[in-house]
Amino acid sequence: MEEKMNFILLVPILFPVIAGVFLVWKREFRKRRNLLWFVGTALLITGTFVAVNLMGGERRLTAFYLTKELPVFFKLDALGRLFALLVTLVWILAGFFSFEYMKKEKRETRYYGFYLITFGVLLGLDFSGNLITMYLFYEFMTLASLPLVLHSQTREALMAGLKYLFYSFCGAYLALFGIYFLIRMGNTIEFTPGGVFESGFLAEHETLFLVITMLLIFGFGVKAGMFPMHAWLTAAHPVAPGPASGVLSGIIVKGGVLALIRVLYYLIGPGFLSGTRVQKIWIILTLITIFMGSMLAFREPVLKKRLAYSTVSQVSYILFGLAVCERSAFEGALLHVVAHALIKVCLFLCAGAIIYRTGCKRVEELVGIGKKMPVTLWCYTIASLGLIGIPPTSGFVSKWYLGMGALDSEIPIFSWLGPMILIISALLTAGYLLPVTMKGFFPGEEFVCKREKEPYLMTAPLIILAALTLFIGIFPETVLTVIRTISGVCI
C-alpha cells in the first residue's frame, strides 16, 4: 500500500508539465477567459497535490534507471518540503497576478505554458532524492525558464536570453565536472544529511575534493548570481514580464542555492569545507558580491534592474550563511531563502504593477506614485523594509541569525568582517529602495494627480506577500521550527 502511495510524489511534478506542454502545443485559445480558467485550475490543482504530499509522511520513489548506477529517485525530506512550499506559494500568487498583467502582452498562451512547465520542473528539483535527479531538473529549469526571459522577443530580450542560457550552462557544466567525481567516488548519490563520505576518505583525496568543491560552488553559484558570474542576472531578469521576473529573481535563483545546500550539506558534508582555503575564497566572493550588488543597485536608475542588482546582493547573503558552515548562520541562510523569495517577488510584482498601470520604468519617473497607487506602494514599502532588515519583518530575523552565526564561527577576520559588510549593505539597501517610497508618497506640494485603479488580481497577491513578510517577522518560530529540524540533521 505504502509503495503505491509513493506514486503521488510524481503527480505534482508531471501535472503542471503536462498542462504546460498542452498549452504550448495548443497555441491559441478561443477566449482569453478559457485560458485563464485553465491556468488557474492547473495552478490550484498542483497546489493541492503539493499540499497532499507535504502533509504525508516521508515518501521515496525510484522512477527509473538512466543506467544501472544512475536511478532517477525522488524523496521528500524537510529541506525539500520547505522549498516546495515556498515555490508553490509564490507560483500561485504570481500566477494570479499574471492574469491581469499579461492582458497587455502578446503570445500569452506560450507564456503560461512555460510558466506551468517551470513550476513542475522546480517541484521536481525540490523533490529530487539524489544528485543525478537534481542535476536533471536543474538543467531543465534553465531550459524551461528561458522562454519566460525571451518572452517579449525584442533584441534586448534575445540577447539577455542567450546570455542567461550560456551563463547557466557554463555553471551547470562546471558543476557537472564535480558531479561526475562525486558519483564515481561516493558509495551512494542519495542525499543524506551530513554527507556520505567518510572523513578518512576525504582526507586522503583532499586536493581533489577541494578542487571539486570549488567547481561545484562556482558552478551552482552562477545560478545564484555570485560574483564573478552575475552579469547574466541583471540582464535577464528585468527583460521578462513583471511576474516572470518576480519568480526568476525570487525562486529560480534559489535553485542554485538549493543545489549548493544539497551538494555541500547532503553529500560532501559541511565538516570538510570548514577551515579550508576554499571556504575562505567562497566567503570573500560572497562578501564582494553582497557589497558590489548593493553598490550597483544604488547607481541603477531603472527600477527593475535595480531590483535585479538587489537580488545579486541578497542571494549572496544566503551564500554567505552557507559558506560560514555554522549552525545559526545556516538557519539564517535558510530563513533568508524564504524571506528573500517572498520579498523579492513582492517587489518585482509591485514594479510590474507600476509599469502595467503607468508605463514608468525609471525611478525618477515614480514621483507621486504613492498617490496614484497607494496599495501597491504600501506593499512595496513593507517589502523594502523587510529587505533592509528592519524589525518586525522577516528580513530582520534572517539577518540577525546570519550575523550571529558569523560572529559565533571561529573563522579569523571574517567572523567580524562579514557582519560588518552585511550592515553596510543593509544601509545601501535602504538607500536604493526607500527613495521610491519617499518620492512616491511625498511628491511635493504642487503635485496633482488622480488615483489609478488597482485591480484585485494585482493587489491581492501583493497584500498576501507583504503580510507574510510581516507575519514571519513577528512569528519567526513558525518557520524556524522547520528550519531547525533541517539544520539539526545537517550540522
Partner 1 sequence: MNAICLLLVVLIPPLAGAVVALAPWRRRTHWMIFLEFAVVVNSVLVWLLLFNRPADTLTLIHFTGELSIAFRLDGLGTVFAGLVSFLWPFATLYAFEYMTKEKHERVFFFFYTLTYGVTLAIALSDNILTMYCFYEMLTLATVPLVMHTLSREAVLASRKYLYYSIGGAAFAFIGMIFIITYGDTTEFLLGGVLNMVKVGENRNVLQFIYFLTFLGFGVKAAVCPFNSWLPQAGVAPTPVTALLHAVAVVKSGAFAILRVTYYSFGTDFLRGSFAQSAVMAIVMFTIVYGCSMAVKETHLKRRLAFSTISNLSYILFGAVLMTPLGLVGALSHMVFHALMKICSFFCAGAIIHQTERIYVHQLDGLAKKMPKIFGIFTVSALALMGVPGLCGFISKFNLASAAIESGNLLSYFGIGCLLISALLTAIYMLSIVVRAYFPAEGFREETLEGITDPNWMMLVPLIVFVILIVGFGVFSAPLVTLFKDIAGGLF
Q: Which is nearer to partner 1, 20 or 368 (CB)?
A: 20
Q: Binding partner 1 by CB under 8 A: which of 14, 45, 48, 173? A: 173
The reply on whether position 201 binds partner 1 by CB under 8 A is: no
Residues 6+ apart with CB under 8 A from 342: 86, 89, 90, 250, 383, 386, 394, 465, 468, 469, 472
Q: Binding partner 1 by CB under 8 A: which of 74, 83, 140, 356? A: 140
Q: How far apart are CA 360 and CA 449, in angstroms?
A: 15
The reply on whether position 169 binds partner 1 by CB under 8 A is: yes
Interface with partner 1 (CB under 8 A), residue total: 36
Q: Binding partner 1 by CB under 8 A: which of 10, 162, 355, 434? A: 162
Cα–Cα distances (Å) from 360 to 18, 304, 458, in that order, read 37, 11, 17
**Residues between 45 and 74 that touch partner 1 (CB under 8 A):** 64-68, 70, 72
Q: How far apart are CA 330 and CA 314, in angstroms?
A: 15
Cα–Cα distances (Å) from 308 to 15, 246, 285, 287, 421, in that order, read 31, 10, 18, 17, 19
Q: Which is nearer to partner 1, 147 or 389 (CB)?
A: 147
Q: Which is nearer to partner 1, 12 or 219 (CB)?
A: 219
Instruction: Tell me the window of 7-15, 94-102, 169-177, 415-423 that interacts with partner 1 (CB under 8 A).
Output: 169-177
Q: Binding partner 1 by CB under 8 A: which of 4, 31, 33, 184? A: 184
CB of 72 vs partner 1, minimal distance in Å? 8
Residues 6+ apart with CB under 8 A from 212: 177, 178, 181, 182, 268
Residue 109: how many other CB atoms lie within 10 Å: 19
Q: How far apart are CA 181 and CA 184, in angstroms?
A: 5
Bond prior to 391 in cis (omega within 30° of 0): no
The reply on whether position 9 binds partner 1 by CB under 8 A is: no
Q: Binding partner 1 by CB under 8 A: which of 143, 288, 407, 467? A: 143
The reply on whether position 207 binds partner 1 by CB under 8 A is: no
Cβ atoms 233, 253 nearer than 8 A: yes
**Residues between 330 and 389 that touch partner 1 (CB under 8 A):** none
Q: Binding partner 1 by CB under 8 A: which of 37, 166, 416, 442? A: 166
CB of 68 vs partner 1, minimal distance in Å? 5
The reply on whether position 141 binds partner 1 by CB under 8 A is: no
Four-residue CA torsion sign, 393, 437, 251, 272 = negative
Q: How far apart are CA 488 and CA 491, in angstroms?
A: 6
Q: Which is nearer to partner 1, 25 or 446 (CB)?
A: 25
The reply on whether position 10 binds partner 1 by CB under 8 A is: no
The reply on whether position 180 binds partner 1 by CB under 8 A is: yes
Q: How far apart are CA 231 and CA 235, in angstroms?
A: 7
Q: Binding partner 1 by CB under 8 A: which of 158, 214, 284, 424? A: 158
Element (H, E) at 184: helix 155-185
Give the CA angle between residues 81, 83, 86 to the nearest 5°: 105
Q: How far apart are CA 344 and CA 237, in angstroms?
A: 12
CB of 213 vs partner 1, minimal distance in Å? 15
Q: Which is nearer to partner 1, 30 or 184 (CB)?
A: 184
Q: Identify the residue whose cell numbers are 564515481.
A: 184
Among 86, 89, 112, 82, residue whose Cα is nearest residue 99: 112
Q: Binding partner 1 by CB under 8 A: which of 152, 274, 276, 485? A: 152
Binding site for partner 1 (CB under 8 A): 64-68, 70, 72, 132, 135-136, 139-140, 143, 146-147, 150, 152-155, 158, 161-162, 165-166, 169-170, 173-174, 176-177, 180-181, 183-185
